[in-house]
Amino acid sequence: MRKKIVAGNWKMNMNLQDGVALAKELNDTLTAQKPNCGVIICTPFIHLASIAQFLDQSVIGLGAENCADKEKGAYTGEVSAEMVKSTGAQYVIIGHSERRGYYNDTPEVLKEKVLLALKNGLKVIFCIGESLEEREANKQNEVVKAELEGSVFNLSAEEFKNIIVAYEPIWAIGTGKTATADQAEEIHAYIRSVIADKYGKEVADDTTILYGGSCKASNAPELFAKPDIDGGLIGGASLKAADFKGIIDAR
C-alpha cells in the first residue's frame, strides 16, 4: 500500500542556525512520539549537511528543494543531484511552481533534473498544478496531465516508483486559499487515473499523491480524510515545529 507522507518545504527561509534549531526540535519531538506517517523536511541546500548529521532519517527524511539539470562541471552557482545525495539527503523536490515560474524550469529542464536525481539515488517529490486562470477555464486536468507527460512519463514503471507526486494548485500556494477537500480529491483521483493509464493500476495505487497549498493543521484533517489524498507538501506551516506537528498528527 502507498505511503502516507507529510513533507515540509522550507523554501528560502531560515538561516543555518535557525534551520538547524527547527530540525533539532522536530527530531526530538518525533523521535519521542513516533508519527504514524512518513515525514520529510526539504530545506535549502546549505542546511542539508548539518541537519543530516543528527536527523534520525528512519523517522524524518531529508530532502533538497531543487537540483541542477546538469551532471557536473562549469555551471557556476548550481548544485548537482550527486552533491545533494552526498550530504545524506534522500529526497529532492522538482518542478515546484516557483521554480517553473521564477526560474524558467521548463518541462525539458525538469525531465533532466528528474533523471539525474534518480540516477543518484534520490527520491523525487514532483510538483504539478494549475494557475488560477487555468482553473477558471476548467483546464486543470489537462494541465496536470501535460506536466506529468512532459517530465516524468518518460520513466519506466520501475523508475516511477521513486516519484512522489505533489498536486499544488498555484492559486492556493501561500495565499491562504485552500482547494476544498472535494476539489482536491477530484483532481487527485484524476491524477491517479492518468498514472494508471500510463503504468497500470498497481503502480497508480502505490503512488503517493500529496496535496499542497495553504495546508495547515485546521484544514488537514478534512483533506487527509479523502481516499486519494495521501498527505501534504507544506510550505508556510512547516516553519514552526508546533504547526508542522499539528499537520503530521492529522495524518
Identify the active-site residue in 96, 130, 134, 185. Answer: 96
Residue from 187, 233, 241, 248 touching ligand PGA (CB under 6 A): that is: 233
Cell numbers at residue 142, please? 489537462
Please choose, out of 56-64, 79-87, 192-200, 230-238, the segment that lies near ligand PGA by the rule CB under 6 A: 230-238
User: Would you count residue 173 as binding ligand PGA (CB under 6 A)?
Assistant: yes
* Shortest Å, Cβ 196 to ligand PGA: 25
Query: Any idea which residue has 536525481 for its cell?
Result: 117
Q: Which of 75, 76, 48, 81 is nearest to 62 (CA)?
A: 48
179 CB burial (10 A radius; 0-12, 13-18, 19+): buried
Calpha distance 168→244 (Å, rounded): 18
The residue number whose beta carbon is nearest to ligand PGA equals: 235
Does 11 appear as a known binding residue? yes
* Shortest Å, Cβ 241 to ligand PGA: 16
Cα–Cα distance list, 123 to 15, 70, 150, 160 (Å): 25, 17, 18, 10
User: Would you count residue 181 as binding ligand PGA (CB under 6 A)?
Assistant: no
**186-196 core/surface letters (b: 16 or more CB in 10 A; e: else):** bbbebbbebbe
User: Would you count residue 235 as binding ligand PGA (CB under 6 A)?
Assistant: yes
**Catalytic annotation present for 168:** yes
User: Would you count residue 39 as binding ligand PGA (CB under 6 A)?
Assistant: no
Calpha distance 219→134 (Å, rounded): 24
User: Would you count residue 124 as binding ligand PGA (CB under 6 A)?
Assistant: no
**Catalytic annotation present for 222:** no
| Residues annotated within a binding site for substrate | 9-11, 174, 214, 235-236
In the annotated binding site, the residues are 9-11, 174, 214, 235-236
Q: Which residues bind ligand PGA (CB under 6 A)?
A: 9, 168, 173-174, 212-215, 233-237
Task: Give the catalytic positions in this structure.
Answer: 96, 168
